[in-house]
């Protein structure tokens, strides 16, 4: 199996499909690189090299029980890029992965990066702070963690309706199948409990506002106007405002899980942006 060894000797698994200009996918909280199945298939069939890695404690990567701070996670991303010698690279992030991308740019620079796509990002931050007064109270994150500690499978299954913005009429033929939602929940539950909780804290409580100006490469922000996890006005719109020259594309009816609910449009927008 293909692995990268991090600075603290954690084995990081990655999948690598296709040939051509490289695209590296950075996953959402608790998801492994397997979440990008539909994007990687589409883009690799259109002449691009698609790579996705499993964050430490996620999927097939090691769980060292440590290193879940934003700097270490970002350094893991840097090791994947360096050890695979990726250059002229497109970075595509989802949710928490968007925070890791902008922090990578602030910490490691843009010398290897050609462009960035931020999908349903939590950037610049979802919880209340001095420079984010409209954010959610931080007590909400600790309540969520308490629920995970009590019954993690149920918490994830209950959250899927809100995550994908399925509404009270789901399941229905026009939305995700129950099988697709079950598959997504299974992927999340492959993340170890330690990684799940520690990465949730990082994703929820880190303010990435000061990292946004480091994103000096062409940037596409894609966000749903019905995202209940990272609301458009709190996250996507503010991220685009904080990144000079970026483009914001709003998906009507889009929730937080657009990599599945809006996969056809997302695939085409990513392909156009990368090949543009």
**Does the structure show a pLDDT above 70 at 247?**
yes
**Catalytic residue, candidates 54, 62, 76, 227:** 227
Residue 96 pLDDT class (50, 70, 90 cuts): very high
Q: Kindly state the tokens that stand for 181.
A: 């939602």
* pLDDT for the residue numbered 126: 81
**Span 70-78, mean pLDDT?**
98
pLDDT of residue 81: 98
Burial tier of 269 (Cβ tally within 10 Å: 0-12, 13-18, 19+): middle
The reply to whether 141 belongs to the active site is no
pLDDT band at 39 (very low <50, low <70, confident <90, very high): very high
Q: Which of 44, 95, 120, 246 is catalytic?
A: 95
How large is the average pLDDT for residues 52-73?
Answer: 97
Q: How far apart are CA 3 and CA 200, in angstroms?
A: 24
CATH of the domain spanning 3-275: 3.40.50.1820
> One of 42, 103, 256, 262 is an active-site residue; which one?
256
29-35: average pLDDT: 98
Domain limits of the chain?
3-275
pLDDT band at 168 (very low <50, low <70, confident <90, very high): low
For residue 212, name the pLDDT band (cuts at 50, 70, 90).
Answer: very high
CB 95 within 8 A of CB 227: no
DSSP per residue over the chain, as a string?
Answer: --EEE-TT--EEEEEEE--SEEEEEEPPTT--GGGGHHHHHHHHTTTEEEEEE--TTSTTS---S---SHHHHHHHHHHHHHHTT--SEEEEEETHHHHHHHHHHHHH-STTEEEEEEES---S-SB-BTTBTTSBPTHHHHHHHHHHHHHHHHHHHHHHHHHTT--TT-S-TTS--HHHHHHHHHHHHTS-HHHHHHHHHHHHH---GGGGGG--S-EEEEEETT-SSS-TTTTHHHHHHHSTT-EEEEETT--S-HHHHTHHHHHHHHHHHHH-
**How many residues does the structure list for the chain?**
276
Residues 116-154: tens digit of each pLDDT: 999 999 999 887 777 777 777 778 888 999 999 999 999
Among residues 71, 67, 42, the alpha carbon closest in space to that of 56 is found at 67
Q: Report residue 218 CA to chain centroid gap.
A: 18
Q: What pLDDT score was predicted for residue 147?
A: 95
For tokens 């709190």, name the residue: 234
Mean pLDDT of 55-73: 96
Tokens representing 101?
Answer: 């991308």
Confidence of residue 169 (pLDDT cuts 50, 70, 90): low
Instruction: Give yes or no: 256 in active site.
Output: yes
Check residues 136 and 212 and name the one with the higher pLDDT. 212
pLDDT > 80? residue 56: yes
DSSP letter, residue 132: B
Owner of token pair 């620079």: 109
Q: List, for residues 213-246, the tens digit of each pLDDT value.
A: 999 999 999 999 999 999 999 999 999 999 999 9
pLDDT value, residue 141: 84
Q: Could you tell me the pTM of the whole model?
A: 0.96
Average the pLDDT over 100-112 and give the result: 98
Confidence of residue 85 (pLDDT cuts 50, 70, 90): very high
- 227 a catalytic residue: yes
Strand order, beta sheet including 113-119: 3-5, 11-17, 48-53, 21-26, 89-94, 113-119, 219-224, 247-251
């Amino acid at each position: 199996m293909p692995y990268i060894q991090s600075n603290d000797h954690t084995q990081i698994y990655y999948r690598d499909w296709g040939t051509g200009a490289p695209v590296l996918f950075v996953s959402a909280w608790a998801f492994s690189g397997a979440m990008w199945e539909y994007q990687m298939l589409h883009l690799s069939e259109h002449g691009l090299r698609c790579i996705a890695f499993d964050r430490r404690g996620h999927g097939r990567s090691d769980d060292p029980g440590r290193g879940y701070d934003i700097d270490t996670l970002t350094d893991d991303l840097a090791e994947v890029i360096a050890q695979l010698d990726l250059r002229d690279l497109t970075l595509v992030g989802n949710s928490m992965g968007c925070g890791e991308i902008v922090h990578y740019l602030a910490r490691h620079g843009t010398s290897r990066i050609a462009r960035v796509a931020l999908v349903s990002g939590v950037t610049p931050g979802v919880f209340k702070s001095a420079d984010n007064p409209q954010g959610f109270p931080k007590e909400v994150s600790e309540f969520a963690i308490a629920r995970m500690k009590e019954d993690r499978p149920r918490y994830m299954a209950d959250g899927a309706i809100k995550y994908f913005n399925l509404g009270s009429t789901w399941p229905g033929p026009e939305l995700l199948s129950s099988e697709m939602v079950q598959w997504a929940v299974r992927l999340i539950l492959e993340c170890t409990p330690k990684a799940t909780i520690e990465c949730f804290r990082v994703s929820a409580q880190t303010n990435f506002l000061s990292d946004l100006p480091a994103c000096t490469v062409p940037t596409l922000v894609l966000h749903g106007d019905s995202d209940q996890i990272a609301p458009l006005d709190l996250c996507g719109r503010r991220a685009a405002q904080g990144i000079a020259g970026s483009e914001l594309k709003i998906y009507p009816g889009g929730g937080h899980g657009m990599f599945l609910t809006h996969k056809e449009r997302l695939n085409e927008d990513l392909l156009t942006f990368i090949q543009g």
